[in-house]
Amino acid sequence: MSWESWIVSTLSRTLAYGTPLLLATLGEIYAERSGVLNLGVEGMMIVGALTGFAVTSGTGNPWLGILLAAAVAGAFSLVHAFASITLRANQVVSGLALTMLGLGLSGVVGRAYEGRPLLHALDEISIPWLEKIPVLGPGIFQDQSPLVYIAIALAVLLWVILFKTRIGISIRAVGEDPATADSMGINVARVRYLCVMVGGMLAGVAGAYLSVAYRPSWTDGMTAGMGWIVIALTIFAFWNPLLGLFGAYFFAALFHLSYRLQAWLPPELLKAMPYILAIVVLIVVSRGTLQKRMGAPSALTLPYTREEG
Amino acid sequence: MRFPSWLHVERRPAPPSWMVFAVSLGAIVFALIVAGLFFQAYGVSAFRAYGDILRGALGSQLGLTETVRRMIPLLLIGVGLTVAFRALFWNIGAEGQLLVGAVAGAGIALFSGLPDALLIPAMFLGGFCAGAAWGMVPAYLKAKLGINDVITTLMLNYVAIYIVEWLIHGPWKGPTMRGFAYTDRLPAAAILPAIAGTRIHWPTLAIGLAAAAILFFIVRRTRVGFEIRVVGENPDAARYSGISQVKITMLAMMISGGLAGIAGVGEVAGIHYMLLSPTHISFGYGYTAIIVAWLARRNPLAVILTSFFFGVLMRGGDVIKVSLGLPFQLVNVFNGLILFFLIGSEILIRYRIRIGTAKEAA
């Protein structure tokens, strides 16, 4: 294989595999920025994947499948929101419960869809003009799912909202210091509910991308631990959507290269890298002030109540 | 959250234990009812499903022994988790600690060349040390550097998974296994004795039961147990009274990780007789045990009861897989629902509601 086609396929596969990571990470960044850790990503993704597949194969419309995947996974995430925000239950446990429930429900309900081909998968597109650029064209702008570009646009949009608008200030205030945010007239519970739901919807789209675009099919447990990579990525990205963009592609490249470099390196080593790197990042930024500057929300995992301040 | 003026929600100082028990039981019942509705919606009679589960898990000798077989790793891990949770250490990494324990056990069995009589004790010891080490890394990181324990323990699960994958596909792949990703079968001297005609590898069960009793005693009656509780409940008080947070956190995680490691040895040497793919070594025991410990309210002795209950559910998953054609994933529906109802009901324990316009609370 020539080096040129090697680069092309690496670029192209990295974008394809990085997209669900990016989508779900953007959602988790919003949830965590508002102060709610959601360990239910894996569960929300798998629910989205099943919904996307079921709706698409029922209606023949993949876009409807993706839309409903967002809606259903968004609604599903509200279970975590209700438990952790309204009932002030432990966020770690509640998130784990959401993942268990999502894996369980999708495994049982999805039984009927197992092994069925998807006749109306989401078509791939090429960007006219840009696809003609040597190497970069076929690598980035040819035969990709439209969701790849939508995800990139979303990363930019969500970065702008988070850091350049009043809404973003509210979200970050609620995640940093809910009591002060409350006294400034921000409805802490509402902001947190919305952020968790955004997280759920994006995880749902990420899941649907897997089942209607990336590998049009349904298999039990098809998210295969991606949701946990997302938890790692959120830290790796310092809770910043634009860094999430780079992080998602970096991890996706590692994943892709774990197959390509099999002859030289055990693939398991590269596959374990995201998890190891997340720990390394945490160690590096563990000096208190640095961590603050890097964006870790201070009130992450802390429920807020007015009475107890 | 805002409440109407006639409704008062206040913190309950010390919930009586009958109430904790009743609320927990209520949570389980509600979870099972919701799961039953799910069965019905899916077109399966809930009565039939629960009937099958109960009969299959408790109604025959085979069923009962298989329930206990499922209970063993849950017991070991659950008991350890009560200690970690008491020290307020969020060990979500028991799955990984179990796996590295399994690796150590299998490695010693296959490659150590120890005399037969020493093999099994060495495997248990090795499994304990491996699991303990895997657990003490995040403990050190949290106690020394303040690094989030949930994330590190969770991440290390996946590192452990890939270590096992690497070993069974690479250096430890068994030459006699005709290309399958297993190690060779463990030598006969490394295989744990089982109660005749069952898969109950009793040495592991005995360690679990003993650990429950010993840790119950340690937590309630000894200075170390007291220090673990102080570190968990009031870190500031611990600091002022000269209790080393680093030492106590590491100790709690040595126990928790070590017991999970022993559970891994049990699965490898008592059930599978080889190291194989991580999903087959552990059916999510490390995660399910979190519910086991939570439901036991961090009481090591109560874990005997709660791990048995989840053993019933897991065995139930095996049973209705065959009788109703439902996937084993169903167990996760139970797990998720029970966990949600448990944490949701906690507000009933922690707070009480008074109705009426009674005196203003200050």
Judge whether residue B121 has pLDDT over 70: yes
Chain A residues whose CB is inside 8 A of the B343 CB are: 83, 87, 89-90, 93-94, 97
Q: Which domain holds residue A196?
A: 3-294
Reported as a single tens digit per residue, the pLDDT across B257-293 is 999 999 999 999 999 999 999 999 998 999 999 999 9
> Are the beta carbons of B76 and B266 closer than 8 angstroms?
yes
Is A286 inside any structural domain? Answer: yes
Q: Does A89 touch chain B (CB under 8 A)?
A: yes
- The mean pLDDT of chain A is 91
Q: Is the Cβ pair B158, A272 closer than 8 Å?
A: yes
Reported as a single tens digit per residue, the pLDDT across A106-164 is 999 998 898 888 888 888 888 888 888 887 878 888 888 999 999 999 999 999 999 99
DSSP code of residue B354:
E
The share of chain A scoring above pLDDT 90, in percent, equals 66
Say which CATH number the domain at A70 has: 1.10.3470
Q: Is the Cβ pair B330, A99 closer than 8 Å?
A: no
Is B225 inside any structural domain? Answer: yes
Chain B residues whose CB is inside 8 A of the A284 CB are: none
Is A290 inside any structural domain? Answer: yes
- How far A147 CA sits from the closest chain B CA (Å)? 28
Q: What's the confidence (pLDDT) of residue A309?
A: 40
Is B222 inside any structural domain? Answer: yes
Inter-helix orientation angle A3-33/A146-164, to 10°: 40
Q: What's the confidence (pLDDT) of residue A231?
A: 93
Q: What's the confidence (pLDDT) of residue A19?
A: 97
Find the CB nearest B327 among A83, A108, A278: A108
Is B350 inside any structural domain? Answer: no
Q: What's the confidence (pLDDT) of residue A11?
A: 92
Q: What's the confidence (pLDDT) of residue A85?
A: 94
Q: What's the average model confidence in pLDDT over B150-160?
A: 94
Q: What's the confidence (pLDDT) of residue B280?
A: 92
Domain count within chain A:
1
Mean pLDDT is highest, among A3-12, A193-202, A220-229, for A193-202
Distance (Å) of CA B191 to CA A164, B258, B259: 63, 20, 19
Q: What's the confidence (pLDDT) of residue A294?
A: 65
Q: Is the Cβ pair A288, B146 closer than 8 Å?
A: yes
Tell me which residues of chain A, numbers 56 to 85, contact chain B at a CB-CB cutoff of 8 Å: 79, 83
More confident residue, A6 or B164: B164
More confident residue, A47 or B13: A47
Q: Is the Cβ pair A93, B290 closer than 8 Å?
A: yes
Torsion-angle region of residue B43: left (phi > 0), alpha (psi -120 to 50) or beta?
A: left
Is B332 inside any structural domain? Answer: no
Q: What's the confidence (pLDDT) of residue B361?
A: 45
Chain B residues whose CB is inside 8 A of the A308 CB are: 11
Judge whether residue B80 has pLDDT over 90: yes
DSSP secondary structure letters along chain A: --HHHHHHHHHHHHHHHHHHHHHHHHHHHHHHHTT---TTHHHHHHHHHHHHHHHHHHHS-HHHHHHHHHHHHHHHHHHHHIIIIIS---HHHHHHHHHHHHHHHHHHHGGGGTTPPPTTPPPPB--TTGGGSTTHIIIIISSB-HHHHHHHHHHHHHHHHHHHSHHHHHHHHHHH-HHHHHHTT--HHHHHHHHHHHHHHHHHHHHHHIIIIIS-S--TTTTTTHHHHHHHHHHHTTT-HHHHHHHHHHHHHHHHHHHHTTTTS-HHHHHHHHHHHHHHHHHHTTSHHHHHHHT--TTTT----STT-
pLDDT tier for residue B356 given thresholds of 50, 70 and 90: low
Reported as a single tens digit per residue, the pLDDT across A187-211 is 999 999 999 999 999 999 999 999 9
- How far A88 CA sits from the closest chain B CA (Å)? 8
Q: Is the Cβ pair B335, A271 closer than 8 Å?
A: no
Q: What's the average model confidence in pLDDT over B240-263?
A: 94
Is A301 inside any structural domain? Answer: no
Torsion-angle region of residue A216: left (phi > 0), alpha (psi -120 to 50) or beta?
A: beta
Q: Which domain holds residue B287?
A: 74-302
- How far A268 CA sits from the closest chain B CA (Å)? 5
Reported as a single tens digit per residue, the pLDDT across A72-109 is 999 999 999 999 999 989 899 999 999 999 999 999 99
Tell me which residues of chain A, numbers 212 to 231, contact chain B at a CB-CB cutoff of 8 Å: 220-221, 225, 228, 231
Chain A residues whose CB is inside 8 A of the B150 CB are: 37, 39, 92
Is B142 inside any structural domain? Answer: yes
Chain A residues whose CB is inside 8 A of the B154 CB are: 39, 228, 231
Reported as a single tens digit per residue, the pLDDT across B191-214 is 999 998 899 999 999 999 999 999
Is A302 inside any structural domain? Answer: no
Q: What's the confidence (pLDDT) of residue B260?
A: 98
Is B341 inside any structural domain? Answer: no
- How far A193 CA sits from the closest chain B CA (Å)? 13
- How far B57 CA sits from the closest chain A CA (Å)? 20
Is A255 inside any structural domain? Answer: yes
Judge whether residue A6 has pLDDT over 90: no
The share of chain B scoring above pLDDT 90, in percent, equals 71
Is B346 inside any structural domain? Answer: no
Is B230 inside any structural domain? Answer: yes
Domain count within chain B:
1
Q: What's the confidence (pLDDT) of residue A259?
A: 84
Distance CA A169, CA A187 (A): 13
